[in-house]
Structure 1
Amino acid sequence: MRSTVAASLLLFALSPWVMAGQIYKWVDSQGVTHFDARPPNGVEATAVEGVKPATPPEPISNEAVMKASGEAEQRRIDRKVKSQVADETSRRNEFCTGVRTNLAQLKNNPRVLQQVNGEVRRLTEQERQAKIEEVRKVIDEQCT
């Protein structure tokens, strides 16, 4: 099996040189230019110079395939991480907007109501100032 594969690969690799031959150019009676490997009988043909056989492509190594698939996997992971970071940033921005709104309400409204155990009561000035400090700490820790 291996010898068959090796022989096939060798024949495939050598095929451009086997197929490469001289190319001839001629013009027929209607003025059409032709190119062929054999000139026709009775027509003056010129050999085309500078025609080189095609070089066989470089074989793709297993390492190149692994590197390419590894790079594709890395790009997929990068996109996933960037998406997660963007989602987290969006959630943090929403949270910080809400906290800043709460701080503004606490600072601008001296009569803050709070619901505790089903009953609504008004915060004292000391409690309101303590809440303002709590909210400022949260903003300093999580929103800067």
Structure 2
Amino acid sequence: MRSLAFLGALVLSLGASAHAAQVYKWVDAQGITHFGAQPPEGQAAQPINTQAAPPASAAEPVPADLDEQEAPSQQEIDEKVKQQVAQQEAEIRRYCETLRTNLAQLQNNPRVRVEENGEVRRLGEEERQARIVETTEKIAKDCD
């Protein structure tokens, strides 16, 4: 229902003046198309032209197959979006795997060493426990 209201607002905004804001279109992981004034972080979004094209004059007929030749088909666009979503999901899986590995190292090894600014130092127990809590929170927030 909310997306229907947003789509209605989008249609109304298309008829607005020439200084309208940029609108973006993207498809989420569930395959739902969204429109918004700002693109989502970490996800590909396509800018939408909100400027109305001037009406074609009768003296200049537009060939019917022109759109088919120049514009990519919806199937090609869908495939590209699916590839982008799959790539993002793979990056998230790698990130979560790294978090889980780091958490296991922190939990199972009381003598954890880290390299910072070219120097290797050992984490104190309080800092190790703080990193365990931080890593656990990141896993709960970002990973399934």
TM-score, L = length of structure 2: 0.49
Structure with the higher fraction of residues in helix conformation: 1
The structure that has the greater radius of gyration is 1
TM-score between the two structures when normalised by the length of structure 1 = 0.49
